Structure 1
Amino acid sequence: MNHDQGLAAEGEAAFPHLFSPVRLGPMHLRNRVMMPPHNSAIGNLWGTDEDEATRAIAYLESRAKAGVAWVGGVTGRIQNQFIPGFEPSGISAETKGYFRLPYFVDRVQRVTGTLHATGAVVTCQMTMIGGFPHAPSPRLSGPAGNSMPHVLTTREIAWFVREYGYSAEQARRAGLDGIELHVNHDDLLEWFLSPLTNHRADAYGGSLENRARFVVEVLTAIRGAVGGSMAVGVRLNLKEEVPGGYDAAGGIEIAQYLESTGLIDFIHAVVGTPWGNPSYIQPHFFDPGQWSGLAGDLKRAIGLPVVHTGLVDSPETAERILSAGDADVVGMARAHIADGEILLKAREGRTAEIRPCVGGNECINRRYVDGLPFGCAVNPHASNEVEGPWLRSASPRRLLVVGGGPAGLELAALAAESGHRVDLWEAAEEVGGQLRIAAAAPRHERFGRYLDWQRNRLADLGVKIRLHQPATAADVLAEDADAVAVATGASARRPPIDGAHGEAVLEIRDVLSGAAIPGKRVVVVAQDDHMPPLALADHLSSRGHHVRVVYATNGPAQLLGRYIVGVILGRLSAQQVQFRFMEEVTAIGAGTITTRNVYSGVQDRLEDFDSVVLACGGVSESSLFEELRDRRDNVHLLGDAFAPRRLVFATRQAYALAKILQGPAGAGTPGNHKDNQ
């Protein structure tokens, strides 16, 4: 047995269920891991050949080469129907069906041909989101959206059934191995199944058999198109989260009925909503695989194979779910974004090297909330696979990085992986910057684990870290490095509010770090559009403080996004946190806070508090850079020292600068680390 075979045997022994094969109908999997569809945020498969499609395929191929058995990488929107001039709108609005694109078959054959060569199987997921504009009844699925739908007629239902059949034939022609019918997360088909949204009095409403009629007719049309040549399954919510929807027992009843039709080969069991708590893309506030027990209840109630997806963030979590008999296959999406070689590393016994996902949902938030290109907070390589492996520089140099926050850490690691000799100076007693402080908030432990991983990475790369090392311009110039990167972060911002420097006024960093302890009744002044004010409120309220949060905006956390905001707001509501919106704090006095409505100018007062905590972001600390750039060449600024932003901005800036420091494209050879796909 050679060394590689020995490593593989060791890894497979540690994860015996994870690396065992399984069959779902005609579809044979080499292991128990599938990747649910998520690559639309990375690169539009239906975009140009030269750019977005090629980028998406390269991303999928890299994960399949590393061991993913099943790639659910083709999101198949069904052709929509509505009157001329009607304009569906919103994130999930369906217009032109992908299966109707003239190049659908050719484009998907590129995907299947590429991924089949790696040993993976490929499926598509057929979707038609409810309310855009269709529904079974004039009902809404939840309180977060109020656009009333068009109620489908039986003639329109029959049209959709035929469209699903046509789409299935296209999927068969494209060489796909299976079809997953999207019957969850506000899909039109879920709305027909649900007693919350289906109040029809015809053959498509009332009993379970009637509410499932549309789904069964669609499955029948799909089977008519593909026969037994492809696996066919249903992705189903284990339960609905809104009162009036079906519960876990109802979910099992639906699954048993669908199984009884003989039309499906598997059920993909999930939880969550696109807007609520829990989100169907569960963030870091939840435990890994938190709902796998519900999937296990379903598995024990039916005979079909069960797939379960839901914050399966590591090989250990996957093995636990599989070994407990809660699922036959697990879905892992964000874990593969964070580390494209997660399965390879597990199989080779290198689990300590796996880059951990922090569960902040930036991977979906950036594209659909910020309107920015895809980005993973912890893995800047993700979506850049088309460019090939990370290169070593043809001209290695000495780099000094000043500042050990997220930007400085990532730059130091990437530069060292390019072959540069790197020194990192950090003024504090440990690296991590503000992220280290944020990790102290409730359910933010994943950020601490990410920092631990970064420290180990830098140690393995031989980066020399000096702690308790503040930097002056003279210090940096005396070091005479070939290049200098200033990542000195940001200091706490105290806004120009009368009384903001009073003794009772504290700052979020001091409170989270434990350096300051507020009184029992706390008012949080929130001037931050993302998580920090809410994390602070969680930190305080979970410790028994009475908390009020004051926002000048018309709602909390404007940039947080629907896939995570409902979770933290649900936690804070349960902990009786109170909110005041559209109010700017203008003065803080002894026992009185004065506010002004930002729209009307009307003043108000808050009383009965012991402490005020400012959650108002930071101010860039760029003075060192300003002093250095006039005195030497090749000095760079990045991270919060340029403009305070989030973790994903810091790591992406580090990646961009590290590419520049590599030298001309193609000048080097592949880097010495394995997480470069």
Structure 2
Amino acid sequence: MFFQKLFTSYKINQCEIKNRFVVPAMVTNLCDEDGNITEAFIKYHEAKARGGFGLIITEDYGVNPNGVGYQNCARLYDESQVAANQRLTDTVHMYGAKMFAQVFHPGRQTSSAVNGGVQPVAAARIPDAFNREVPHELTIPEIHQLVAEFANTARLMKKSGFDGIELHLAHGYLLAGFLSTRQNRRTDEYGGCFENRIRIVEEIYHAMRAEVGPDFPLTARVSLTEDTVDGRQMQETMMIVKHLEKLGFDGLNLSNGEYTSYAPELISSTFTAKGYNVENAKRVHEFVNIPTIVANGINDPAMAETVLEQAACDFVGMARASLADPDMPRKAARGQLSSINYCIRCLQGCEGSLLEGKHVRCLVNPELGHETEYTFEQNPESKNVLVIGGGPAGMEAAIAATRQGHEVTLWEQRNELGGEFVSAIYPPAKGEYANFLVFLNHQMKALNINVVLNQTATVENVKEFNADKIIVATGGNPNKPNLSGIDAGNIHFANDVLLGREPIEGEIVVVGGGEVGTETAMYLADAERGHVTIIEMTGDIDAGLLRTVPTKRLFRDHEVTIITHAKVKQFNNNAVVIDYNGQDERIAADEIVLAMGYHADNELLKSLQSQLDNVACAGDVIEPTNALEASTSGFKAGYYA
């Protein structure tokens, strides 16, 4: 495919950027606890620069020790921090990429648990729904101090070699809070009318501009809408962007929403339409005369090219796409689109890991966040490696071991690769997940890995194979409770239903409201198989990170019944008997689907480990978790084979 626009250069102020690929800001948690730059932080950005991205925008830098949303976020407020940041920008510049630094203050969207024990601050004393701490309302002297801190950080950023600065005015953070009446309830000169609410932005802009000069790019990140009950919509956004242009900003990075809202488009999952922001971004692009960037759910170079062809923007932000494959621009330039490791918008590593206080990871790219560890520079002695199991863990193990120079054979007892992940691609809003299996299969073929399908492993034939290293990745099996009536003909496992092995319809009961159960219920409801009831023993269903709310919307539209705090007692006479509030209740069921978790398929592993000393393991055979942990542990096992 020929890309006419993606690989043309374009300027922001006097900064010429070699192509239209942009990495927008994303939190990594790769700095130290004081926000200082680490080698891991540098290597993370180097991978994207080496991969061909024209402009890389750092995560949001704090302007003081406490102005962060995560404990390990970057900060730049002291001269002593310049040298490390200079190493960062020097590294990125080696590849011809440009680097802007994003500067922000989290406002109420932080907590004293991660910001050094300080009460969050905001335009007004309104807590957000996630962090829940009532913020301190900034006084006017405190606002003036904050303006000075932004100016100081801008000075240090220019001194550190950054090519530009992006001021964060989006996503519900402090400055977005001043701009929006959703947060700003002040009655002084920083609240009320538009002129007052934008005053702090004007003061910060002028203070920063005085430090960096007229030829240094200053851009702003803006939410197009906030998608909340009283949040900003497009007409007011048009006021803001025109004002920012007149003020002197050199470009706009157009995003959407605010954190802690139910808006679907801020962090794009597979429930969000790809390119969700493009139409509104085009309105802004046609209205202003400064360069614009648009992001959100654009993870394919072909789509990025068409967005540019529509004149919707000047640059395309491909944030999570760059996590999945930092080499995307280079591959696109060569026409190697089928070799791209496409982001599947699962959010398990890029968001889920951060919420657990860990550094950024990626389900489809286990090297992310481990760039200093997985260097492939050790050149270990070549071994004969046998991988048992062809799910994501086994495939990642085989790929990593082969890249390390080992001779690898993979045995899979089924007639296809993919393991339990195959059934995971069938529910609604999961079609993009197929890209992961496509990429893994492509890698297996490209690396010429010997794959033997329909091969059952036993202790005897594994010993006979005589491998130098054995990696067992046999995964897990679905749980089957020991209850009366469990062997009835109308009881099915969820994966058999999803794969169409056992078509069902009528009055359907799904036992288990976790991710597998809710996705199976979605699959059945969306296919109009009948009335679906979910039985969950806890207080709520859990469809996975940022998926529960849109899943409940689908259930509402399809009249799916959800019964929580219910424990299944037995199955009989086309019914499920449950204990509900201490009383037995009978739920009619023509068909019953079990989604009650998994247990490790580890008998072979235990037998091999008791007789051999060269056996490693990966994935759910250790403990059933999720695909992120499976791919992570599989790659690690293969790398250290």
Q: Same fold (TM over 0.5)?
A: yes
Within the candidate set 25, 45, 50, 1:37 is matched to 25
- Whether contact under 8 Å (1:439, 1:447) holds in the other structure is yes
Shift of 1:159: 2.8
TM-score, normalised with respect to structure 2: 0.90
Matched-pair contact (CA < 8 Å) for 2:396–2:638: no
Give yes or no for contact 1:279–1:564 (8 Å, CA) kept in 2: no
Letter in 1 for 2:285: K
Q: Is the 8 A contact 1:436 1:447 kept in 2?
A: no
CA 1:252–1:520 in structure 2 vs 1: closer, same or farther (change >3 Å)?
Answer: farther
Q: In the superposition, relative to structure 1, how do residues 357 and 593 fare at CA in structure 2: closer, same or farther (>3 Å)?
A: same
Q: Which residue matches 2:244?
A: 258
Give, as a single letter, the amino acid of the residue that structure 2 aligns with 1:539.
Answer: Y
Residue aligned with 2:168, SS: strand
1:61 pairs with 2:49: no
Q: CA deviation at 1:31?
A: 0.8
Verify: 1:579 aligned to 2:562, yes or no.
Answer: yes
**Alignment match, 1:537:** 521
Task: Name which of 358, 366, 390 aligns with 2:376.
Answer: 390
Do the aligned residues in 1 keep the contact of 2:574 with 2:590 (CA within 8 Å)? yes
* CA-atom RMSD in angstroms: 2.8
TM-score (norm. length: structure 1):
0.86
Question: Which residue matches 2:596?
Answer: 616
Does residue 55 of structure 2 align to residue 70 of structure 1? Answer: yes
Distance 1:70 1:459 in 2: 33
1:17 alignment counterpart: 5
Instruction: Give the drift of 1:46.
Output: 6.3
Structure 1 residue 104 displacement after superposition: 2.5
Q: Is the counterpart of residue 285 in structure 1 residue 259 in structure 2?
A: no
Distance 2:590 2:395 in 1: 38
Could you say what secondary structure the match of 1:363 adopts? Answer: coil
Alpha-carbon distance, 1:434 to partner? 0.4
Check 1:277–1:526 CA distance in 2 against 1; reply closer, same or farther (3 A cut): farther
* Residue correspondence of structure 1 range 17-166 to structure 2 within 5 A: 17-38=5-26, 40-41=28-29, 43-44=30-31, 53-79=38-64, 92=69, 98-101=75-78, 103-131=80-108, 132=110, 133-139=120-126, 146-166=132-152
**Shift in Å, 1:593:** 4.0
- Check 1:451–1:393 CA distance in 2 against 1; reply closer, same or farther (3 A cut): same
Aligned position for 2:116: none
Q: State how far apart, in whole Å, the 1-side matches of 2:300 and 2:516 are.
A: 26
CA offset at residue 267 of structure 1? Answer: 0.8
The answer on whether the counterparts of 1:393 and 1:420 sit within 8 Å (CA) in structure 2 is no
Question: In the alignment, does 2:296 pair up with 1:310?
Answer: yes
Quote the Cα distance in structure 1 between the aligned partners of 2:469 and 2:152: 59
* Residues in 2 aligned to 1:182 and 1:604: alpha-carbon distance in whole angstroms: 55
Q: Is residue 340 of structure 1 aligned with residue 326 of structure 2?
A: yes
Measured in 2, the distance between the counterparts of 1:570 and 1:388 equals 41
The DSSP-based 3-state class of the residue aligned with 1:478 is helix
- Whichever residue aligns with residue 127 of structure 1, its letter is F
Q: Which runs of 5 or more residues in structure 2 are unaligned?
A: 111-119
Higher mean C-alpha deviation, range 492-501 or range 334-343: 492-501
Question: 1:59–1:382: 8 Å Cα contact kept in structure 2?
Answer: yes
Give the conservation status (yes or no) of the 8 Å contact 1:277–1:566. no
Whether 1:628 and 2:628 are equivalent positions in the alignment is: no
Give the CA deviation at 1:594: 4.4
- The reply on whether 1:353 has 2:333 as its aligned counterpart is no
Aligned-partner SS, 2:460: helix
Show the counterpart of 2:286.
Answer: 300
CA separation in 1, counterparts of 2:34 and 2:65?
20
Matched residue, 1:416? 402
Contact 1:45/1:57 (<8 A) preserved: no
Q: Check if 1:469 corresponds to 2:455.
A: yes
Q: Conserved in 2, the CA contact under 8 Å of 1:180 and 1:235?
A: yes
Q: Report the CA distance between 1:55 and its aligned residue.
A: 0.9
Asked if the contact 1:39/1:56 (under 8 Å) is kept, the reply is no
Distance 1:92 1:36 in 2: 17
Task: Determine the C-alpha separation between the residues in 1 that align with 2:535 and 2:63.
Answer: 44
Q: Per the alignment, do residues 454 and 392 of structure 1 end up closer, same or farther by CA in structure 2, a change over 3 Å counting?
A: farther
Q: Aligned in 2, Cα 1:167/1:630: closer, same or farther, shift over 3 Å?
A: closer
Contact 2:34 2:72 in 1 (8 A): no
Contact 1:236/1:268 (CA < 8 Å) preserved in 2?
yes
Letter in 2 for 1:16: Q
Alpha carbons 1:67, 1:343 under 8 Å: kept: yes
Is the CA contact (8 Å cut-off) linking 2:22 and 2:56 kept in structure 1? Answer: yes
The 8 Å contact of residues 299 and 321 in structure 2, kept in 1 or not, is answered as yes
Cα separation, 2, equivalents of 1:97 and 1:340: 21
Residue 373 of structure 1: how far off its partner (Å)? 4.7
Q: In structure 2, what is the Cα distance between the partners aligned to 1:273 and 1:648?
A: 26
User: More displaced, 351-360 or 102-111?
Assistant: 102-111
Contact 1:183–1:190 (Cα < 8 Å) also in 2:
yes
Alignment partners' CA distance in 1, 2:484 and 2:389: 33
Q: Does the 8 A contact of 2:387 with 2:470 survive in 1?
A: yes
Q: Which amino acid aligns with 2:76?
A: F
Is the aligned partner of 1:653 residue 2:633? Answer: yes
Q: Distance in 2 between matches of 1:569 and 1:57?
A: 41
Of residues 193, 197, 200 in structure 2, which corresponds to 1:214? 200
| 1:69 CA drift (Å) | 1.6
SS of 1:103's equivalent? helix
Q: Secondary structure at the match of 2:143?
A: helix
How far did residue 232 of structure 1 move? 0.9
- The amino acid that maps onto 1:78 is V
1-side partners of 2:263 and 2:591: how far apart? Answer: 30
- Whole-angstrom CA distance in 1 between matches of 2:624 and 2:183: 44
Encode CA deviations 1:79-102: one digit per residue, 9 max, x unaligned: 388xxxxxx9xx927899923345
Structure 2: which amino acid aligns with 1:274? Y
Matches for 1:184-583 after TM superposition, within 5 Å: 184-261=170-247, 263-275=248-260, 276-387=262-373, 389-391=375-377, 393-526=379-512, 528=514, 531-544=515-528, 545-557=530-542, 560-561=544-545, 563-583=546-566
In 2, Cα distance between equivalents of 1:174 and 1:30: 21
Counterpart Cα distance in 1 of 2:16 and 2:63: 27
Q: Indicate how the Cα distance of structure 1 residues 234 and 569 shifts in structure 2: closer, same or farther if over 3 A, else same.
A: farther
- Distance in 1 between residues matched to 2:275 and 2:622, nearest whole Å: 38
Superposed displacement of residue 394, structure 1: 4.3
Unaligned runs of 5+ in 1: 1-10, 82-87, 662-677
Kept after mapping to 2: 8 A contact 1:508/1:614: yes
What are the Cα deviations for residues 292-321 of structure 1, in whole angstroms up to 9, with x where unaligned? 122112111211111111122122122121
Which amino acid is the alignment partner of residue 553 of structure 1? T
- The more displaced of 400-409 and 463-472 is 463-472
- 1:128-186, Cα deviation, whole Å (9 max, x unpaired): 22325333334456x55654333333333333222222222222232222111111111
* Shift of residue 646, structure 1, vs aligned partner: 1.3
Change (3 A) 1:144 1:573: farther
Deviation, 1:381, is 1.9
Q: CA shift at 1:567, angstroms?
A: 4.2
Quick one: structure 1 residues 47 and 144, their matched pair in 2 at CA, closer, same or farther if it must change by over 3 Å?
closer
SS of the residue corresponding to residue 585 of structure 1 reads: strand
Quick one: which amino acid aligns to residue 536 of structure 1?
Answer: T
Measured in 1, the distance between the counterparts of 2:570 and 2:98 equals 62
In the alignment, is the contact (CA less than 8 A) between 2:60 and 2:73 conserved in 1? no
CA distance in 2, matches of 1:58, 1:124: 16
Counterpart in the other structure of 1:667: none
Q: Deviations 1:556-579 (Å, cap 9, x if unpaired)?
A: 339x44x55444444444444443
Opposite residue 20 of structure 2, the aligned amino acid is R
